Structure 1
Amino acid sequence: MDEDYNQANLLFTNGQRQAALDSYTAFLDKWEPQRDAFGDTVNSYNKKLAIAYNNRGQLHYLNVDFYLAMEDYSQALKYNQHFAVAYYNRGQIHYRLGSYQLAIQDLQRALAIEPNFEDARSNLMQARQDLELQLQGKSSSDTINALS
């Protein structure tokens, strides 16, 4: 397991995006179904699965495959509910897709886990501002439609 995991991480670190994506997929396909066999080491196992999903999600994000990236970040959180970076990453995609309320929720979760996560803090402020603008825009158009 460690060899497959380390190989995928090495490719990711070296910027070999497609090879890393393929390697993470192979790792997850091979090792995720065997999770229950790890008994006492399941927490360590879950952390590796979470990191693999998060990193593969990052590769999907870089390929502008936002929905695949979100699926992977959600899977990462399934295996490690205290993974602030995965909440942050998923929040970033929600933000880019204009789902500001969902972005805010994920960024708040990231900050609850890691209160000093400055990128999450600044992006949370931006998401709140953009949500407010979005709501004002809807309110303005609703008013215009009502007057027409």
Structure 2
Amino acid sequence: MMNKGRFYRMAAWLALAGFLNAGMAEMLPAEDMLLPAPSACRSDRSAVARLPLRLAVYAPEKDVPAVEALLNVLNAQGVLSGLSMTGDRDSADVVCSVEGTPAGTGEGYEARLDAGQGGRGVLRMKAAAPRGLCYAWQSMVQVLTANRKEDGCSVPGG
């Protein structure tokens, strides 16, 4: 028998697959599609950030083992592919870090997508515990997948 949490996750992925198959041309802001809904979310449709299909991920040395483990899972699932670690923070498409002291369950996170020069996006994710970073990736997978094009992802900044 399936528990409620697993049921809702499966329903969310099926709903997301429906978005993808619909061939929507419009960008989907995070607040319109994230499941479960975050406590706070704000997108800026005027600041479009572009990310490549193959993301280079940077993490401080102390966080590399946790981030590499997450990337291995994501690459194996095939939802996002071509995720790789880089030692160069300035050229990274994604910057991940575990900082601060976990509050409550340690599941909280902050994710921000900045649009830089020429619209190049940099996704910044931080959490107080590795569990929070895992949830940040799950949310960003939803956003990136829903806004995926042939040459990369175009996402409203926020």
- Classify the TM-score, shorter chain: under 0.3
Higher relative contact order (CA 8 A, sep 6+): 2
Which of the pair has more CA radius of gyration? 1
* Structure (1/2) with the larger strand percentage: 2
TM-score by length of 2: 0.26
